[in-house]
Structure 1
Amino acid sequence: MSSRRTTAITGTLVTASFSAVMILSGTAGAEDQGPGSSKGGKVVDKAPTGVRFTTLLPEKISVDNGSKETDITATVKNEGTKESGKIRLLVVGFDGLTVKNVQGCSPIDEKNLPEGSNSGYACSIDNLAAGRSKSYAVDATFDLGKTGKICLPVQTSDGKKTFWQQGPVPFGTTNPSPNAPATPLLLGTDNKPVAPGSDELPKTGPGVAPLGAAGAALMAAGAAGVWWSRRRPGPRTN
């Protein structure tokens, strides 16, 4: 084989390899939900001494424009110095965001859902050691013709106390993509639907919706024990 032909083939292989890297990188980026955020969260009831909870939601998600399906990662973390004991994490959907499944968790009966919500799952945790976290894969749908919010309360195992609650916090679009296969949504951005009958996708308002803007406050909900505190966020205590 001549050196010229060898050089040409080598150049082709290098180009192909570079293209493959670009394709793989693009695919990974499309699935990346970005860093986790506790935006919209606050302390409700005082946690046991040495225990401090927080939750995290992705900064961005992507909604399939055809199926309306989306994947969300919900994380609960013990930032304290002592183990938590038995607790539970709730994943609750509002408005256009409907929680279809949370891996390893149980659905909340419709009669026990908080007022204003459309779906929810309860995740039981036997113990969360100091500095440790636990993440759950959430399958959901998002109707882009509506607003959509999610709520993550962290409670005692019997639901009588809520130590921490993130949300209801909205997801919304800042880049309408009617001809694209998916629409990106950002955490803390209120999705503003267009007028009925329009072919356009919802537009996004500039501000972050207040914590109480769920259409209705989270109320006591029977055995589920989901509730929303109207109190202003208090300082975290160990």
Structure 2
Amino acid sequence: MSSRHATAITGSLVAASFSAVLILSFPAGADDTGPGSAKGGKAVDEAPAGVRLTTLLPERISVDNASQETAITATVKNEGTKDSGKIRVWVVGFDGLTVKNVQGCTTIAEKNLPEGSNSGFSCPIDNLAAGASKSYDVEATFDLNKTGKICLPVQTSDGKKTFWQQGPVPFGTTNPSPNAPATPLLLGTDNTPAAPSGDELPKTGVGRDLLPLGAAGVSLLAAGTAGLWWARRRPES
């Protein structure tokens, strides 16, 4: 074999090896959730002039198949030109998604939760400057044998007005991975359980489209993928 021919073969092998390294390295970034999404969000009550409040959730989360634990980042943004003043955001779980803790927030008493929800935390914000955002680390569990939804209403500090509400929006997958260490879930996707009898999903609460607040008797109505949070609510004790 000539040295020129050997050099060509060696060069081809190096190039192939380099290509393989590039291909194998891409999955390492698969856990990157990318930018947050306001999917399932809707403005409700009119905010003060110059204030525009929204929320963001990750496009993708991952549930540990053994512990059912997952982590979610919930973000509140003021996209307006003026400061928000005192507001609060609630982080509420429904069906298979149970909120266990939200960093820097307090547990919502069961009597104050909207009917159909299973958990929630209230996060007070003294002021959100124009153009600023605030993110919260949400610890949750997800029962993959059920649907699972989350809701983020942004309200006045007393809860009498809701400026924005994201959800109840589902996380889920149509391709369960029961034998994998974790199952990736996508925002805005209804969950399909891995169980053989997964054609009929368990339902909890009073239904997907009507979620009245038990303590106040004020309803939370679904509109498309987003619901309208209560316009007023019984004051917290």
Q: TM-score range, shorter-chain basis? A: 0.7 to 0.9
Pick aligned residue for 1:228 from 200, 207, 220: 220
In the TM superposition, what is the alpha-carbon distance from 1:214 to its structure 2 partner?
Answer: 3.0
In the TM superposition, what is the alpha-carbon distance from 1:177 to its structure 2 partner?
Answer: 1.2
1:228 maps to a residue whose letter is L
The more displaced of 174-183 and 89-98 is 174-183
Distance 1:231 1:36, change over 3 A: closer
Contact 1:115 1:216 in 2 (8 A): no
Rounded to whole Å, the distance in 2 between the matches of 1:169 and 1:106 is: 22
Classify the secondary structure of the residue corresponding to 2:129: coil
In the TM superposition, what is the alpha-carbon distance from 1:111 to its structure 2 partner?
Answer: 1.2
Distance 1:227 1:86, change over 3 A: farther
Residue 217 in structure 1 maps to residue 211 in structure 2: yes
Contact 2:174 2:192 in 1 (8 A): no
Distance 1:230 1:178, change over 3 A: closer
- The equivalent of 2:172 in structure 1 is 172
Q: Please, what is the CA RMSD of the aligned residues?
A: 3.2
For normalisation by structure 1, the TM-score amounts to 0.75
Contact 1:170 1:188 in 2 (8 A): yes
Q: Which runs of 4+ in 1 moved over 4 A?
A: 25-28, 200-203, 229-233
Deviation string for 1:129-161 (max 9, x for gaps)?
111110000000000000000000000001111
- The equivalent of 1:154 in structure 2 is 154
For normalisation by structure 2, the TM-score amounts to 0.76
Rounded to whole Å, the distance in 2 between the matches of 1:51 and 1:28 is: 36
- The equivalent of 1:88 in structure 2 is 88
Contact 1:153 1:162 in 2 (8 A): yes
Matches within 5 A, 1:17-28: 26-27=27-28
Distance 1:166 1:66, change over 3 A: same
Contact 2:33 2:60 in 1 (8 A): yes
Rounded to whole Å, the distance in 1 between the matches of 2:149 and 2:193 is: 14
Distance 1:221 1:156, change over 3 A: farther
Contact 2:105 2:121 in 1 (8 A): yes
Residue 47 in structure 1 maps to residue 47 in structure 2: yes
The share of aligned pairs that are identical, in percent, is 70
